Amino acid sequence: MPTDLITPQDPRSQYPGPPSSFEIQHAPATQAAMSEKPDCGEFSYKGSGRLAGRKALITGADSGIGRAAAIAFAREGADVAIGYLPEEQEDAEEVAKYIREAGRKAVLLPGDVSHEGFCHRLVADAFEQLGGLDILVNNAGRMGKTEGLLETSTERFDTLMKTNIYSIFWITKAALPHLKPGASIINTTSVQGFDPSPNVFDYAITKAAIANFTKGLSEPLMEKHGVRINAVAPGPVWTPLQEADGDKKKLEKLGSTTPFKRPGQPVELAPVYVLLASQEASYITGEIYGVTGGMGIA
């Protein structure tokens, strides 16, 4: 699947259409268990030193979009600490290999971000082992599907809230004292936060909250700390998150309603994370960058 990211080509056929082979995995799903693996830039992303010497913490970096960001950051010159669930160790070890092959330091920090205590340890360990912290990417999340409001349990709702939005509050709050002027925070929201689908309405609530969190903090973080905060809003992207307690009918059509007639690949989002992390984005804060395959976030 890896494609040339330099030579101009037709983006409609640059990657496959909806997945032809997939498995509904019990959450958390792993990339290692996917029969049709996404392109996270392992063999396609080329760096150019845009993040030389930076120290980054990325949650949910074992697979999918977080994995693509971790690989891209390392190839742009950053040392990277990756947060992930212990069940995702195999995927995390593979990401660490790519980071080290890029000549950068990889720090593996397993744990569950739905627990406040771990979120505090995650930031403290990343700061200590990296020797600093310049970039924070809040990307970890859960999705799955629900059959409607009456079928949605309090346990599911609580888990989504704690994993997807409480964790960002806890991690960002813990990281802020370590971030110096010029640092960057990047959150992962979703097109679902702007145009929710019924079978993931509760997931969509968390993604809308992340967008609001990003915009609400942009002014005080800049005025008081000189720290930028932005978010990326993916559309339908082929990642293990789609298979985790997912919807078979949805996966069979994933990305087919976009103008591209295909889902995005994680590597197609990586350059946006790199831009927002870099000094090139020095005048960008409080923005939501849609990478939706033309679906839009307005």
Q: Give dist(CA 72, CA 23) in Å, integer.
A: 27
Q: How far is CA 168 from CA 20, 206, 208, 231, in A?
A: 34, 11, 13, 12
Q: Give dist(CA 152, CA 19) in Å, integer.
A: 27
* Strand, coil or helix: 228: strand
Helix segments in the chain, DSSP class H: 64-75, 89-101, 116-130, 154-161, 167-175, 201-225, 240-243, 248-252, 270-277
**Kind of pairing between the strands at 184-188 and 228-234:** parallel
Q: Return the CA Rg of the chain.
A: 18
Tell me the two tokens of residue 57.
């913490």
Q: What are phi and psi of 80, to 5 degrees?
A: -135, 130
Tell which residue, 141, 253, 248, has the closest CA to residue 202.
141
84, 98, 166, 203: the active-site residue: 203
How many other C-beta atoms can be found within 10 angstroms of the C-beta atom of residue 20? 9
**Kind of pairing between the strands at 228-234 and 288-291:** parallel
- Beta bridge mates, 79: 55
Whether residue 84 lies in the annotated active site: no
Tell which residue, 202, 142, 139, has the closest CA to residue 172.
139
Tell me the two tokens of residue 263.
């889902």
Residues annotated as catalytic (active site), given as ranges:
203
